A = this chain, B = another copy of it.
Amino acid sequence: MDESPGLRERKKAATRLALHDAALRLAIDQGLDRVTIEAIADAANVSRRTFSNYFSSKEEAIFHGDTMRLRRMLELIREQPTDEQPWTVLTRAALRLTEESYLDADTEWLTHRRQLRGHPGLAAHQVAAYATVEREVAAELARRLDGDDAALRSRVLAATFLATVRVAVQGWIEHPEQPLLDAVRAALAAAAPAPTRPADLAADPTP
């Protein structure tokens, strides 16, 4: 396993998390654009300049939680056996992540997220967070595929998979009556690609 990360790294993670929490909390009860970076830094007991050393914008700080979860999902994908169907691998990783990271999501967190949603331009930064890991997921998938179109297929799989997870989570945030686990399962089932069948109906672009 990896060694204990050392004091320095732990402190960095702590301030990063403190900034994230402060940003989230302040944005929730004042509205994102009425919160200055300085206020966030103050709430986390660091200087404004230090905030910039960690995040390049308020939005990045806000979505740091998502970023961490997505990194975790990448780990979970890497842990999966390499002799499985790619979509099965991805589905299991997503469900695992949901179990270990989202089930403890309290109602409070949900209402928070629902208040954040709606702010224009925030969704853009969320998809950006997903796009960041997309390359890495694709790289991991490429290691598991072969065939001449492996490069394309791995990138398509990574992109569609992450897009689907995003849709499932976003949908659940707005309609939390159904458990997230079921939402993720249903979404991934709906998006499961058909087993590779070279020329099918999509190959006819006429009318």
Residues of A within 8 A of B (CB): 80-81, 85, 87-88, 91-92, 95-96, 123-125, 127-128, 130-132, 149, 151-153, 155-157, 159-160, 162-164, 166-168, 171, 183, 185-203, 205, 207
Contact = CB atoms under 8 A, between A and B. Distances in A.
B190 A203 contact: no
Contacts of A95: 205
Contacts of A166: 159
The 4 A-B pairs of least Cβ separation, nearest first, read A124-B128, A159-B163, A160-B160, A163-B163
Nearest to A206: B92
B205 A92 contact: yes
Nearest to A194: B194
Contacts of A152: 167-168, 171, 183, 186-187, 190
Contacts of A85: 201
Given A124-B124, A124-B125, 12 more contacts: A123-B131, A128-B128, A151-B171, A152-B167, A152-B186, A152-B190, A155-B167, A156-B163, A159-B164, A159-B166, A192-B200, A192-B202
A193 B192 contact: yes
A153 to B, nearest CB: 5
B191 A203 contact: no
B149 A156 contact: no
Contact of A164 (B87, B149, B160, B194): B160
14 contacts: A85-B201, A92-B207, A124-B131, A125-B128, A127-B130, A152-B171, A152-B183, A153-B190, A157-B191, A159-B160, A160-B164, A160-B191, A189-B198, A191-B193
A207 to B, nearest CB: 7
A191 B88 contact: no
